[in-house]
Amino acid sequence: MKIISASRVNERLTAGETLNIIDVRETAEVRSGRIPRSIHLPLGLLEFRMNELDKKKEYIVVCQSGGRSSQAVKFLDYQGFNVTNMDGGMLAWEGKVD
């Protein structure tokens, strides 16, 4: 499984890179803030909504601490998607939030 640090994601966003970030937390968790321009796709709906994703794109998956996002990465990787887990999740995030 590919892993990226929260600080590296923040560096890439700050440098102006456009990243495809999937937030797999529940709706109530996302209300407290999420990474700007991230896609909210709760883990429980991933199987049913993965058709909204593009297998040609690279995705970074985030949750609260890294556990659910690692499950999502394993599932999406098995389905043929290019996915990376953001280590430490939102607990490790020090960048801007919406």
Active site residues: 63
The CA-CA-CA angle for residues 66, 11, 78, to 5°, reads: 40
DSSP string, 38-61: -EE--GGGHHHHGGGS-TTSEEEE
Find the radius of gyration of the CA atoms of the chain: 12
